[in-house]
Structure 1
Amino acid sequence: MAKELLKRSQVAQEDTWAVEELYGSAELFLEDAGRLEQMVEELKDFTEDYLTEKGEHLLEYFKKLEEAEVLLEKGLCWSERNKDVDTADDNFQALSGKMMGIYHKYGTVTAPIDTWIVSMEEEKIQQFYQETPELCNYRVTIEDLRRLKDHTLSPELEELLAASGEMGSAVEKSYGLLTNADFENPSVKDADGELVKVSTGRFIPLLESQDVRVRRDTFQSYYARYEQYKNTFASLYEGKAKGNYFYAKARKYDSSMEAAVDANNVPKEVYYNLIEAVHENIHYMHDYMALRKKLMGVEELHMYDIYAPIVAPETEHVSFEQAQEEILEALQVLGEDYVSVLRQGFENRWIDKYENENKRGGAYSAGCYGVHPYVLMNYQNNMDSEFTLAHEMGHALHSWYSAKYNNVFDSNYKIFVAEVASTCNEALLMNHLLNHTTDKKKKAYLINYFLEQFRTTLYRQTMFAEFELLTHEMVEKGKALTAEALKKLYYDLNVQYYGNDMTVDEEIAIEWARIPHFYYNFYVYQYATSFAASMALSKKILEEGQPAVERYLKFLSGGCSKSPIDLLKDAGVDMTTKEPIREALKTFGELIGEMEELFCQI
């Protein structure tokens, strides 16, 4: 018998997140959903003449919008959190669908109003700020809308584009249902000869096995299920890419990538700089693969070997409780206020801890204005999960600080900086663990883990970003994204990034179908840029102490009160240059040398 996962109803309450703090029942949720629908209808009463007549009327609109936004965020959080822990529950699927319907209707109603605000004369909007000082509370939101004036359409077209949003999200929804609910997970024998289902949450831990047979069987069986549906995945991905290009063209952008990054107020050069800087330093990745091959003592290094630790620790088991304590200790450098909020999150059920049947894979943090963030984990009692927990709690505290110091609009920090706090937490945890061991074997294991963070975040996510860029360019040139075309492109990128010491197995060609982030519209590059930024910030925190901590906490509290580039500059990092990426990769190269030297002493 394969090891079975618990059903959701069997999970202990202390291991679940406290969604009852949002709504105690579906009936209470539906009451607020009804109120929200009424609020959305009332927003229709605002006309262009009324809204642009005087500052008081614009203020009236934003106050009503703020009330609706808070309720919308709460309703979405409750419905999505419940859906994600049991994706096969039809009731929560329906409630989530209802809430998403309201969300898209909200967007449809506000879209033409946004165009009226955008089209106002600069002199008039400045007069409104002077006559109605309270309107300045929403100035960041107003100015961010007006920044996109050249890409804002007529009210009728904006309403049409907004109305299409629900239809456009069907591709991503279909992908999620296919991979989380409909697929039958394969089973493999673990190192003890016991049959284990290869779920999304167990895939990487199984690839970390010291038994090459377990790694190979896991790799081949798991990707075989994606290969079986390769044409369906290709069709879904092509649909998403074509949708991105449709919206980009509609908004008068030259490319899908440019539209995506400009939405976050990030120059497109940042995207190109990342790929160029990584290409210029690809030799470090090739050096690491050569070292891995040497230290593992294999004639051929396969794609299924690269997650296995080069140095196995004496004990790989890291309980959730141990992880909590080590994270709290590691982040003491950020001050008592930060640590007290972190402890509150651990103690007050912000986190849904473990995998259960039909639970969404992976991990994430979701902020909820006026309540607290919610963190989804599929904790696997290992160091990788410990770092994932530190990562997600970094997101959570970023959301908490942003919500504390900003209104609901300004609390939603841009996605470009979303991964900075999370990866900074990881860097500080790594520093703590390295400084609190004298065991050379454990130190080598930790350095190997750190090297893997560079490989999987800076290099691999950049490879993902390049794949996303190239596939969208294919769509923009009228080329079809067939399964075979996608597989060949992805395979060739792996060959380029991993170098001559890697045997690039044919199964890896279908890996793109496993990556849900390809449906997030040019999201993945931000993992790499954020990692580089967080390396710089964590170094400043450890070297400078309190001044750097104060700048960092100000960054966490900034929300979207400034552009993401400016927020990072204030914290001490300029991401418009290649320098942070180069410096991070230089550190990677130094760690490779340290690893080789340390290995000789074990």
Structure 2
Amino acid sequence: MAETKTLPKREEIPQKYKWNIEKIYSNNEEWEKDFKALKEKAPSIKEYQGKLHTPENLVNYLKESEELGRLAEKLMVYAHLKSDEDTSNTTYQALKGNIDSYLAELNSINAFFVPEILSLSEEYIFEAIEKVEDLKLYDFFLKDLIKSKPHVLSKNEEELLASVSDNLEAPQNIFNMLTNADMTFPIIIDEKGNKVELTEGNYSTFIKSKDRRVRKEAFEGLFNTYKKFKNTLGTSLSSSMKAFIFESKVRKYSSALESSLKPNNIPLAVYENALKTINDNVNLLHRYVKLKKKFLRLEEMHMYDLYVPLIDIKQEDIPFEEGVEIVKTALKPLGEEYLGIFDHGVKNGWIDVFESKGKRGGAYSWGTYDTMPYVLLNYNHTLNDVSTLAHEMGHSLHSYYSRLEQPYVYSHYTLFCAEVASTTNEILLIHYLIDNEKDPNKKLYLINQELEQIRTTVFRQLMFAEFEKKTHEMLEAGQSLTAKEYSEIWHEINVRFFGEDMVVDEEIDIEWARIPHFYRDFYVYQYATGYSAASAFAGAILKDNEKGVKDLKKFLKSGGSHYPIAILKNSGVDMLTSAPLEATMKRFSELLDMLENI
């Protein structure tokens, strides 16, 4: 009888594979000491309330607020990372709970700042920045606050809106409870003939099964379950969008889309150009479907055939050290400085490598201005894990450069920029692997991997973005939307995107009901813009290495020192044009050519 493989305990993992959190606090007593100091210092910040009309007080407030913020972030990161090492450890659960609760209190203590700044005249702010040397640092920060003035309500109105925030978020909470807690899926028969309960978790495995019966059964089981709740899910989605539309109107934006984009100074044209460009290139997705149908030798290509790999290859067992070397070789175009920092991070405790009992799943990069840019992995020796290493270290080097080059106030990059550096690394890795693979089967597998990455990150996310734009505009025009209308809109988008070689099964019409991102209005398009910006950087680096690397480093060092569109444009990527997304489409076409000629 085979021995059951169990996860190692954390203490059984060699130290060289663990992150060095002790660099933040060597023990919990040090953490508690700082936590006590934070709670003692924080209330004094309220002494500045009503006194920001003098430049001296404004400077002192900003400096003291930064000091408190940096300390709070350090405390938070330590508690969260220690808790993620072993989620069953009640000591760190308590630390995490304590700091999270206190952060809400700290936000409340600082809540007077924005309304008070906006109550002051613009002339005073501009004059203070001009005359007081220490305020020059905060030029962009303060002017960005002033820009939001037309959309900030009176103190009483803001308090009223805040008091109903739970009610406005209710649709998302209802969706989460229904789909995560109450909804159950049918039993299906897997490849080995075993009865298995279908879940959202194992669906992603079944839909890639080489056994067509299994993926069809999983597909029908999942979407027919959602269909049973279509009226509830339709109502919750409409309620969520109406809540967002309500807030955008109250804050005097011209549309819900504007209220999502304008705070980061992102023109509506960026969103609209992305939709136009993807629709202009939708024939490439049609071509991919046709090729996939041919490779899989199918008479009919159905929606449940979309995720199955073109070819099965034996999964390699890639030790972590080998994975590091693969990534470093792929990232050689980024130069010695970048690789040196990467190597330093690997060897000096940035990364928590292996899965262990109780450790949080998944992967992320996280840290603060005063800590390492830590990386959590659950490395399992696969090629996908190697790609995850490249991705998360891309985040961490972005953070490293931002914190090195920017003051604290501009060290945080925006969500629009967040995935660019990490995805640039992933793209460089897959290009290297494809270009250097000699085995035709492995090469085919890798080409399909990159095609799927572009299909799911660019085409699919912009399908979502088009659905969001259309449904919001219909609601804003006073039209009523139910599950019936949502399904009709979703069906039409799928028919248009996948083309005549795809049978758009009726089950897919309810897919809109499954997407949690639709409860975070106009969020998903950033996956596609982030990927296209990364594709532009990677292409430039491989074409004109010296200039490409220089532009990427300029981007990495910019942090949040300007609006995201300006930062990218200053680094050679103009998101106001279709060029970055067109570059991604060109790469998708090149990969299709490789498929045809392999």
Contact kept? 2:351, 2:377, Cα under 8 Å: no
The answer as to whether partners of 1:16 and 1:352 remain within 8 angstroms in 2 is yes
Deviation at 1:350, TM superposition (A): 3.0
Which moved further from structure 2: 149-158 or 31-40?
31-40
1:302 aligns with 2:293: no
| Bigger mean CA offset, 373-382 vs 289-298 | 373-382
In 1, the alpha carbon distance for the partners of 2:10 and 2:233 equals 33
Residue 284 (structure 1) aligned with residue 284 (structure 2): yes
> Shift in Å at residue 91 of structure 1?
8.5
Rounded Cα–Cα distance in structure 2 between residues aligned with 1:299 and 1:407: 60
Kindly provide the CA deviation profile for residues 426-454 of structure 1, in whole angstroms up to 9, marking residues without a partner as x: 11001211222222222222222221122
The question of whether the paired residues in 2 share the 8 Å contact of 1:104 and 1:166 is answered with no
Partner of 2:60: 60
| d(CA) in 2 for partners of 1:37, 1:173 | 32
Q: Structure 1 residues 415, 385: CA separation in 2 closer, same or farther (over 3 Å shift)?
A: same
Matched-pair contact (CA < 8 Å) for 1:111–1:158: no
Partner of 1:412: 412
Contact 1:355 1:377 survives alignment (8 Å): no
| SS of 1:309 mapped into structure 2 | coil
Contact 1:345–1:351 (CA under 8 A) maintained in structure 2: no
Shift in Å at residue 592 of structure 1?
1.3
CA 1:471/1:396 → structure 2, altered by over 3 Å: closer, same or farther? farther
Give the C-alpha shift of residue 495 in structure 1.
Answer: 2.4
Mark the CA change 1:441 to 1:337 in structure 2 (over 3 Å): closer, same or farther: same
The aligned residue for residue 457 of structure 1 is: 457
Counterpart position of 1:144? 144
Give the AA of the match of 2:53: T
Deviates more, 1:532-541 or 1:159-168: 159-168
Amino acid in structure 2 at the alignment position of 1:518: F
- What's the secondary structure of 2:47's corresponding residue? coil
2:353 and 2:75 mapped to 1: Cα distance?
A: 18
1:150-189 to 2 correspondences below 5 Å:
150-161=150-161
Note the alpha carbon deviations across 1:209-236, whole angstroms, 9 max, x for none.
3332343344344556655665665555
Taking structure 1 as reference, are residues 378 and 350 closer, same or farther at Cα in structure 2, changes over 3 Å only?
A: closer
CA contact (8 A) 1:201 1:355 kept: no
Contact persistence 2:375–2:393 (CA under 8 A): yes
Displacement of 1:596 in angstroms is 0.9
Residue 44 of structure 2 is matched in structure 1 by 42
Secondary structure at 2:365 match in 1: strand
| TM-score after normalising by structure 1 | 0.85
Aligned-pair CA distance for 1:585: 1.2
User: Separation in 1 of the partners of 2:557 and 2:155?
Assistant: 34
Q: Any conservation in 2 of the 1:207–1:214 contact (CA below 8 Å)?
A: yes
Is 1:469 aligned with 2:466?
A: no
Partner of 1:216: 216
Q: Report the equivalent of 1:571.
A: 571
The superposition leaves residues 351-373 of structure 1 with CA deviations (integer Å, 9 ceiling, x where unpaired) of: 4654978956x544334331133
Distance 1:30 1:435 in 2: 52
- Partner Cα distance (1:289, 1:124) in 2: 60
Gaps of at least 5 residues in structure 2 are none
Change (3 A) 1:217 1:76: farther
Q: Equivalent residues in 2 for 1:8-23 (5 A)?
A: 13=13
2:122–2:146 Cα contact (<8 Å) kept: no
Moved more, 35-44 or 288-297: 35-44
Out of 560-569 and 20-29, give the one that drifted further.
20-29
Change (3 A) 1:566 1:157: same
Q: Which moved further from structure 2: 466-475 or 27-36?
A: 27-36
Contact 2:278 2:459 in 1 (8 A): yes
Amino acid paired to 2:281: N
Q: Which amino acid aligns with 2:139?
A: R
> Percent of aligned positions with the same letter in both sequences?
38
Highest CA radius of gyration, 1 or 2?
Answer: 2
**Counterparts of residues 172-321 of structure 1 (less than 5 Å):** 191-192=191-192, 203-223=203-223, 226=226, 233-234=233-234, 236-315=236-315, 320-321=320-321
Instruction: Provide the C-alpha distance between the structure 1 equivalents of 2:501 and 2:359, rounded to a whole number of angstroms.
Output: 38
Q: Which amino acid aligns with 2:579?
A: E
Displacement of 1:57 in angstroms is 0.9
CA distance in 2, matches of 1:185, 1:6: 28
8 Å CA contact 2:7, 2:355 repeated in 1:
no
Instruction: Tell me, in whole angstroms, the C-alpha distance in 2 between the residues paired with 1:357 and 1:200.
Output: 21
Could you give the per-residue CA deviations for residues 461-485 of structure 1, whole angstroms, max 9, x where no partner exists? 1111122223333443455664454
CA contact (8 A) 1:108 1:163 kept: no
Name 1:587's counterpart in structure 2.
587
Distance 1:117 1:52 in 2: 8
Distance (whole Å) between structure 2 residues aligned to residue 346 and residue 515 of structure 1: 36
User: CA separation of 1:462/1:381 partners in 2, compared to 1, >3 Å: closer, same or farther?
Assistant: farther
Does the 8 A contact of 2:261 with 2:267 survive in 1?
yes
Question: Is this contact kept in 1: 2:7–2:356, CA < 8 A?
Answer: no
Q: Distance in 1 between matches of 2:8 and 2:221?
A: 26
Q: Matched residues in 2 for 1:96 and 1:168: separation?
A: 27
Residue 138 of structure 2 aligns to a residue whose secondary structure is helix
**Preserved CA contact (<8 Å) 2:10 2:356:** no
SS at match of 1:365: strand
